[in-house]
A = this chain, B = another copy of it.
């Protein structure tokens, strides 16, 4: 453990817009969803650690459309995360991945500021990257998080559910029996403690998850579904399970084909 050295670069955690993979006809300028400080840092950095080099090049190209990058795209140093950290859901501490993570941060030890990015949203939140941040702290580097869209928090703020006590638990099981058991477990926890429970699903399973929720949960449990956040088709709906069952309009124009966040509580 070394103290922060003036000679070392810092690790910036750099959020990106949420429209990755959405194939929008006219994607918004990244400035719509990223503040000046984040854009200025993205322009200035020359070394990147990323979930996906291709999407990072696409991001930097979009940033370059607003303000010129400090060095041209083809001269940027872009390195992908090791596969272990790459796998969503992985946060195994002190594995071989940590040694690799430290190696990826070598440019910071030589004085370069380094940016950590994921495909969309905030790195290391419902996305890989935490092994890099842990390694940065172990190396005594400054870690500076930047502001941008975090779909989980956009959803929570729009849900009407308790934002003073909440948990994000990742994905629920796919197998119907296990899924129902897990949903009941999360509901019990939410109803007993008042802690809002949040989870996500791959978009093509969103409809099946919503059906399972309506079949499994108590009528008086509150359920919110927030989808396509920051995108033109975005919608957030929040109602008691009994209301979801009664009023089909709640499902109208709910973008279940896009990334959605599911929230339940009281």
Q: Could you say which of B37, B135, B164, B247 contacts A170, with CB atoms under 8 Å apart?
A: B164
CA distance A3 to B249 in the complex (A): 6
Extra contacts besides A124-B156, A145-B229 (19): CB < 8 Å: A1-B249, A32-B37, A33-B147, A35-B35, A89-B164, A91-B162, A122-B157, A123-B157, A124-B157, A124-B163, A125-B156, A134-B161, A136-B160, A137-B224, A137-B239, A142-B235, A144-B234, A145-B226, A165-B169
Q: How many residues of A contact B (CB 8 A)?
A: 79
A214 to B1, CA, bound (A): 18
Chain B residues near A124 (CB, 8 Å)?
156-157, 160, 163
Residues of B within 8 A of A133 (CB): 157-160, 238
Interchain CA distance A195-B166 in the complex, whole Å: 12
Query: In the assembly, what is the distance between CA of A155 and CA of B125, in Å?
Result: 10
Are B137 and A145 in touch, CB under 8 angstroms?
no
Interface assignment of A49: CB less than 8 Å from any CB of chain B: no
Residue of B88, B149, B224, B247 touching A147 (CB-CB under 8 A): B149
Q: Which of B34, B35, B130 contacts A161 (CB 8 A)?
A: B130
Contact of A144 among B142, B144, B158 (CB under 8 A): B158
Convert A189-230 into 0s and 1s, putting 1 for each residue whose CB lies closer than 8 angstroms to a CB of B. 000001100000000000000000000000000101010011
Asked if A137 and B238 sit within 8 Å, CB to CB, the answer is yes
- CB within 8 A of A134: which of B129, B130, B160? B160
Measured CB to CB, the residues of A under 8 A from B are 1, 3, 13, 28-29, 31-37, 88-91, 93, 122-127, 129-131, 133-138, 142-150, 152-170, 194-195, 222, 224, 226, 229-230, 234-239, 243, 247, 249-250, 252, 266
Known: A32-B35, A37-B32, A166-B167. A252 touches B3 (CB 8 A): yes
Q: Which chain B positions have C-beta within 8 A of A37? A: 28, 32-33, 230
Contact B234 A134 (CB under 8 A): no
Contact B194 A1, beta carbon cutoff 8 Å: no
Q: Which residues of B contact A143 (CB under 8 A)?
A: 158, 160, 236, 238
Q: Which B residues are in CB contact (< 8 Å) with A234?
A: 144
